[in-house]
Chains A and B, each alone.
Chain A
Amino acid sequence: MPAAFSPLPHAGEKSTITVAIAKFQERPTTMQIAASIFSFTATPPPLCVCHFPSKTNLPNSLSSSKPSLPSPLLSLSPPRKLICRPPSGKYVREDYLVKKYSAAEVQELVKGERNVPLIIDFYATWCGPCILMAQELEMLAVEYESNALILKVDTDDEYEFARDMQVRGLPTLYFISPDPSKDAIRTEGLIPIQMMRDIIDNDM
């Protein structure tokens, strides 16, 4: 669909997806963002529930429960044949890979030295598409590992920071390159994971 150019998104405009590119400077003055707005039918992300396997590699507790009654089955059981290599459990942890940051921490990160692109996800507690975006960002974090830094900011907690960053529709993503001469990219709304990969690979 053709893109339309308009100033900052405001009430009444399509809020499906807004892409804005802003030049990130260390001494900013005023902010004018030329936004291109287009309607987009996103490809549905894999809507799998992110189940983490409940099985662990812990030894079978039954084998040590009743030593007085040795079970012939346990002692003579044939070795298990692995059909496939079990997952290493690298990302099986309680916390998400994408961590929640405060405004101060984000500011420090942006100003500090970085070698990798920074992706900031502005979300809200009860925003539905933010949930889907969070799933996508988790997958992205697994793919890129240490080659990209992905974090999220709760706009209800960091109210003023979100206002300063001119966050309107949620979720809003900011892609900030480690190269200060490159423009930052802002997207508004749910975007497919491939678009995020393209932005990181090509524009960061």
Chain B
Amino acid sequence: MTTGTLQASISYGVGFAISSVAAPPRRLRHRHVTLAKAEPTDKSVEIMRKFSEQYARRSGTYFCVDKGVTSVVIKGLADHKDALGAPLCPCRHYDDKAAEATQGFWNCPCVPMRERKECHCMLFLTLDNDFAGKEQVTVMTNFKAL
């Protein structure tokens, strides 16, 4: 078990806004916002599941000991694939999902994963990670959204 040292800096130049008393009016009508749908299609889920297994084998990584985490992430990838046409990383917040999907940095496998085998979704884990299991195959579990 390894722990990192917490070192943080304090910046005094700043405050952040919780803007005004009244909530800002929603302008969703004027901007295309892609939200997560309820459930992705089974076909997309199966595609992403097979992709995950294949990529885990190829990259020498393993799935999480908690298969619920793996299932949720695969469903998130499938959901983005349905909505955006590309499996955008489900563990990030984006200003414009469609633009990010086009740009490709965070399309799974994302650049940090390809370059450094860093998957903050905990989908592909190296053996030295405490959460890494020993499997490179997964079975989708039904998992209710939070």
**Which A residues are CB-close (under 8 A) to B128?**
41
- In the bound complex, residues from chain B placing their C-beta under 8 Å from that of A126 are 36, 72-73, 75-77, 79, 90, 145
Chain B, Cβ-Cβ closest to A14 = B118
Is A30's CB under 8 angstroms from B106's CB?
Answer: no
Residues of B within 8 A of A125 (CB): 36, 76, 90, 145-146
Knowing A107-B23, A183-B10, say if A167 contacts B93 (CB, 8 Å). Answer: yes
Known: A27-B15, A131-B72, A131-B146. A170 touches B6 (CB 8 A): no
With known contacts A32-B11, A34-B11, A19–B6 Cβ distance under 8 A: yes
* Interface 1/0 per residue, A145-188 and B, CB below 8 Å: 00000001011110110111111111010000000000111000
Task: Confirm or deny: A79 has a beta carbon within 8 angstroms of a beta carbon on chain B.
Answer: no
Residues of B within 8 A of A200 (CB): none
Q: How far is the CB of B19 from chain A (nearest CB, A)?
A: 7
Could you tell me the dominant secondary structure of chain B's interface residues? Answer: loop
Bound Cα distance from A164 to B35, whole angstroms: 17
User: Which interface class (under 10, 10 to 19, 20 to 34, 35 or more) fits B?
Assistant: 35 or more
- Contact between chains at A34 and B9 (CB < 8 Å): yes
User: Is B26's beta carbon under 8 Å from chain A?
Assistant: yes
How far, in whole Å, are A157 and B123 apart by their CA atoms in the complex? 24
Interface check A119, CB cutoff 8 A: no
What is the distance, in angstroms, from B90's C-beta to the closest C-beta of chain A? 4
Please tell me which one of the listed residues B5, B118, B123, B129 contacts residue A15 in the complex, with CB atoms under 8 A apart: B118
CA distance A9 to B36 in the complex (A): 24
Name A164's closest neighbour in chain B (CB-CB).
B17
Size of A's binding interface in residues, CB under 8 A: 80
Within 8 Å by CB of A155, from B5, B77, B93, B123, lies: B93
B93–A170 touching, CB < 8 Å:
yes
B65 at the A interface (CB under 8 A): yes
Q: Does B7 contact A (CB under 8 A)?
A: yes
Q: Does A21 contact B (CB under 8 A)?
A: yes
Within the complex, the shortest CB–CB distance from A68 to chain B, in Å, comes to 45
1/0 per residue, CB under 8 A from A, across B1-42: the answer is 111111111111111111101011011100001011000000
Are A123 and B2 in contact, CB atoms less than 8 angstroms apart? no
Cβ of B22 to closest chain A Cβ, rounded Å: 8
Q: List 9 A-B contacts (CB under 8 A).
A: A12-B105, A14-B112, A23-B13, A28-B15, A43-B130, A103-B23, A106-B18, A129-B121, A167-B93
Q: Which residues of A contact B (CB under 8 A)?
A: 1-3, 5, 11-12, 14-17, 19-36, 38-44, 47, 100, 103-104, 106-107, 110-111, 122-132, 134, 152, 154-157, 159-160, 162-170, 172, 183-185, 189-190, 192, 195, 198
Which B residues fall within an 8 A CB radius of A?
1-19, 21, 23-24, 26-28, 33, 35-36, 64-66, 68-70, 72-73, 75-77, 79, 90-93, 95, 105-106, 111-112, 116, 118, 120-123, 128-131, 143, 145-146
Beyond the given pairs A20-B8, A38-B4, A132-B69, 12 more chain A to chain B contacts, judged by CB atoms under 8 angstroms and listed by A's residue number, are A2-B7, A16-B118, A25-B14, A29-B14, A33-B11, A40-B4, A41-B129, A47-B65, A126-B79, A128-B123, A129-B122, A132-B122
